[in-house]
Amino acid sequence: TAADQKEAAGKLVMVTNAEFPPYEYHDNNQIVGIDADIAKAIADKMGVELEIQDMAFDSLIPAVQSGKADFAAAGMTVNEDRKKNVDFTDTYAEAAQVIIVKEGSQIKTPDDLAGKKIGVQTGTTGDIYADDIENADIQRFNKGMEAVMALSQDKIDAVIIDREPAKVFVKENAGLVILDEAFTEEEYAIAVKKDNKELLDKMNGAIKELKESGELKKIVDKYITA
Ligand code: ARG
3-class SS string, 94-153:
EEEEEEEEECCCCCCCHHHHCCCEEEEECCCHHHHHHCCCCCCEEEEECCHHHHHHHHHC
C-beta of residue 59 within 8 angstroms of C-beta of residue 123: no
Read off the amino acid at residue 149: M
CA of 163 to the centre of ligand 1 (A): 11
Residues 99, 159: contact at Cβ < 8 Å? yes
Tell me: the pLDDT tens digits for 136-187?
999 999 999 999 999 999 999 999 999 999 999 999 999 999 999 999 999 9
How many Å lie between the centroid of ligand 1 and the Cα of residue 200?
20
What's the fold here for domain 95-185?
D-Maltodextrin-Binding Protein; domain 2 (3.40.190)
Q: Is the ipTM of this complex over 0.90?
A: yes
SS3 10: coil
Average pLDDT over residues 70-99: 98
Q: Are 24 and 17 in contact (CB under 8 A)?
A: yes
Quote the pLDDT of residue 5: 66
Give the ligand 1 atom nearest the CA of 57. Answer: 11
- Span 79-108, average pLDDT: 98
Looking at the chain, list the stretches that DSSP marks H as alpha helix, in order from N- to C-terminal side.
Answer: 2-8, 34-46, 60-66, 80-83, 125-130, 144-152, 163-172, 197-213, 215-223
Location of each CATH 3.40.190.10 domain in the chain: 2-92+189-223, 95-185
Q: Which CATH superfamily is domain 2-92+189-223 in?
A: Periplasmic binding protein-like II (3.40.190.10)
> What atom in ligand 1 is closest to the CA of residue 128?
12
What is the number of the ligand 1 atom nearest to the C-alpha of 35? 10
Least confident of 2-16, 118-132, 184-198: 2-16
pLDDT at 225: 85
Task: Identify the DSSP state of 23.
Answer: T
Q: How many CB atoms lie within 10 A of CB 49?
A: 14
Lining ligand 1 with CB less than 6 A are 16-17, 19-20, 24, 57, 74-77, 121, 124-125, 162
pTM of the model: 0.95
d(CA 209, CA 116): 45
